[in-house]
Amino acid sequence: MKMNKSLSKNELIHQLLNLGVQPGGVLVVHTAFSKVAPIERGPQGLIEALLDGLGAQGTLIARTLMG
């Protein structure tokens, strides 16, 4: 099911916190951007929301692929 409305950074942060992501915590992310609902500012918006949700003391671990 595709969503037409893009999620804002604040909406995504709110969802992350509701899922149990804690500021100052560690979050491991393994996903393809194409599998995530449309997000304002695309992949950069997703990264910003993840980092903002974790705060300055948090740690984001994400797999990257280079072609």
Q: Split the chain (67 residues) into runs of 10 and give each run's mean pLDDT.
A: 79 96 96 87 94 97 82
Tell me if 39 sits within 8 A of 49, measured CB to CB.
Answer: yes
Pairwise CA distance, residues 13 & 10, whole Å = 5
pTM of the model: 0.85
Tell me if 26 sits within 8 A of 32, measured CB to CB.
Answer: no
Q: Which residues contact 42 (CB under 8 A, 6 or more apart)?
A: 33
